[in-house]
Structure 1
Amino acid sequence: MAKEALTLAEVSKHNTKDDCWLVIAGKVYDVTKFLEDHPGGDDVLLSSTAKDATDDFEDVGHSTTARAMLDEYCIGDIDAATIPATTKYTAPKQPHYNQDKTPEFIIKILQFLVPLAILGLAVAVRMYTKSESA
């Protein structure tokens, strides 16, 4: 018989350094033993208790090794109906701002030519000072 899914209320009780559970991608993980070894420190994990920590986990960009480690800490599934619906903030798309209305191709050409001119000037100065000292 399959074990009943855990509720967020049950998982939320486990929010200390001695007993820490996280909800990530529909699964519940007991990460208590990992708190000390977590590269970001235990506060990062403790701040993700009592909620769906999936976005927190994904936003960091964990390695495949870190993702594989989750399996050893998995203790069950979360009852999705007990997690309140939240909307993740997404910044509105901003149009590219070109204050003086300079055509894009001119900007791109200048981004290439200006550093090239500075490099050429630096080489010329170096060669000039070298020839003066000789």
Structure 2
Amino acid sequence: MTNHRVHVFEDVAMHDKKGDCWLIISGKVYDVSSFLDDHPGGDEVLLTATGKDATADFEDVGHSDEAKDLLNKYYIGEVDSLTLPVKHQYEPTAAGSSAGNQTSGGLVKLLQFLIPLLILGVALALRQYKKKE
């Protein structure tokens, strides 16, 4: 097993296949190779999160506390934040620091909730309209 150490992004990104899968979440590196077959969302979800900072992917799903605790089992070190590409960098959430990202992410989640309701409302309205004819 790899010692807990600091890994450069380029090295972590090379571990991007079944049987050799590392993820970067919140500045930490996890070797989830042995977890691929057990992941409830399937191995493809984890494999698509390789080669980048997967913090947003992990947090957007809304993992349980048990899932977050399970990460400790796969922890192998930290990522050298200076080696992260700018667009992949993890930025800890601080009061007001990423309001723009939270707003757009919140908007997407709101739309994912509202659009099906809107479609349902239109369908029900059309049904009522056709009954009156």
Give the TM-score normalised by the residue count of structure 2: 0.63
Matched with 1:46 is 47
The 10-residue stretch of structure 1 (82-91 or 30-39) with the greater mean CA deviation from structure 2? 82-91
Residue 86 of structure 1 and its aligned partner are, at CA, apart by 2.4
> 3-state DSSP class of the match of 1:51?
coil
Would the aligned equivalents of 2:4 and 2:75 in 1 still touch at CA under 8 Å? no
> 3-state DSSP class of the match of 1:58?
helix
Residue 92 of structure 1 and its aligned partner are, at CA, apart by 9.3
Quickly say closer, same or farther: Cα 1:52–1:65, change in 2 above 3 A: same
Matched with 1:84 is 85
How far does the alpha carbon of each residue in 1:82-107 deviate from its partner, in whole angstroms, 9 at most, with x for none? 112228582697xxxxxxxxxxxxxx
Residue 73 of structure 1 and its aligned partner are, at CA, apart by 0.1
1:28 and 2:29 aligned: yes
Give the number of aligned pairs.
92
Matched with 1:61 is 62
> 3-state DSSP class of the match of 1:75?
strand
Quickly say closer, same or farther: Cα 1:3–1:60, change in 2 above 3 A: closer
Matched with 1:13 is 14
Identity within the alignment, %: 50
Runs of at least 5 residues in structure 2 that lack an aligned partner in the other structure: 89-100, 108-133
Runs of at least 5 residues in structure 1 that lack an aligned partner in the other structure: 94-134
> 3-state DSSP class of the match of 1:59?
helix
Q: CA RMSD in A?
A: 2.3
1:70 and 2:84 aligned: no
Quickly say closer, same or farther: Cα 1:64–1:19, change in 2 above 3 A: same
Choose between structure 1 and 2: higher helix proportion. 2
